[in-house]
Amino acid sequence: MSPFSLVPRDNNFFREFTNLADGVKSGARELRQMIATDPPDMDKVEAIKEIEHTCDEVTRGIIDRLNRTFITPLDREDIHALAGSLDDVMDAIDAAAAVIRLYRITRVRNGAKQLVDIVCDSVDGISQAVAALERRNGVLEIAAKVKQLEHEADRAHQDAIVELFDQERDPIAVIKWKEIFDFLEAATDRCEDVANLLEGVVVKHA
């Protein structure tokens, strides 16, 4: 039996987490659309930046609510960590888009497209897991899939680097693409961080 309290728990955190995850998913979709053409659609960089700003606002709202709430549906440190980790995913997506524009990329390498597809799949999983968090229904299974996707991203990143060094003769281009690949792989790392946090929350409250 759950403990009785005269002070109701604020369950709006779950809705705000869902809003934040949906924002990250929108950012990932914009990135995929950005690199779908040669040259990339650089206008998408500003769209992604706007989404990143919105995610920052949602994150600040979650932290502000946390500071004003007496009884929370999850441990306070978990709420703070989850908000920050979701925002970190969006930051990585934003950084990848920004560096593509910074380096004036005109032709997108296949390795980048593959990594962005994995980022989108990972973010989809994160969004589904966050939506299921309040009921704890299926979160562990979805989190496991996200972690598997991170392993796929590691392999795709390695393959992209090998192909880059085999095919590219311009050392400046090698440096540019190596950094882009690293940013994209980092986005999947941040998704794995979220998955690990979600697993911890579910196990703790089982």
Q: Is residue 28 part of a domain?
A: yes
- For 129-167, what is each residue's pLDDT tens digit? 999 999 888 999 999 999 999 999 999 999 999 999 999
Sign of CA dihedral 40, 105, 31, 95: negative
pTM of the model: 0.93
- Cα–Cα distance for residue pair 161/6, rounded to 1 Å: 58
Q: Is residue 1 part of a domain?
A: no
Predicted confidence at residue 206, as pLDDT, reads: 72
Q: Residue 114: which domain range?
A: 12-200
- Residue keyed to tokens 């706007």: 50
- For 95-108, what is each residue's pLDDT tens digit? 999 999 999 999 99
- Counting the structural domains of the chain, the total is 1
Q: Is residue 119 part of a domain?
A: yes
Predicted confidence at residue 10, as pLDDT, reads: 54
Angle between helices 76-102 and 110-131 (to 10 degrees): 160
Q: Is residue 7 part of a domain?
A: no
| Of 99, 109, 123, the residue nearest 21 (C-alpha) | 123
Q: Is residue 150 part of a domain?
A: yes
Predicted confidence at residue 136, as pLDDT, reads: 86
Residue 40's region, left for phi above 0, alpha for psi from -120 to 50, else beta, is beta
- Cα–Cα distance for residue pair 22/17, rounded to 1 Å: 9
In the predicted model, residues of the chain with pLDDT beneath 70 are 1-11
